[in-house]
Amino acid sequence: MLNRSLADQYADIDFQIKALEDQKKALKAQIVELGTELVAGDNYDVKVSLSQRSVLDFAKMESTYGINEATFKLYSACTKDGACFEVLKVVAKETK
């Protein structure tokens, strides 16, 4: 009985998190669609910025330079640009 209870509790929380993640994703889309860098609220501000993920191409680095000779310059030469994505940062407003 205890295991079922634990399983049910876990499942309930898992479903709640999923629902909240869906709501958060929809709100993020609305915020990004505004096209501003800052969305101000009563208690919090949301700062919007763009970021680009880079991925190290290990195969290129190994075949071109040898894995043991990797340096920071080589790292840059072997980096593939990834897709841009929006980053939202929530900042609490100072209380006085």
56-81 pLDDT, tens digit per residue, is 676 776 677 666 554 555 566 666 66
Mean pLDDT by 10 residues, the chain (96 residues): 81 96 95 92 92 72 63 60 77 80
- Domain ranges in the chain are 1-34, 36-96
CA–CA separation, 28 and 17 (whole Å): 16
User: Which residue matches tokens 């205890």?
Assistant: 2
CA distance to 8, 48, 54, 85, 88, per residue, from 29 (Å): 32, 11, 23, 12, 11
Predicted pLDDT of residue 86: 79
> Could you say which DSSP state residue 66 is in?
-
The bridge status of strand 38-40 relative to strand 79-92 is: unpaired
Two structure tokens written together for 61: 């680095």
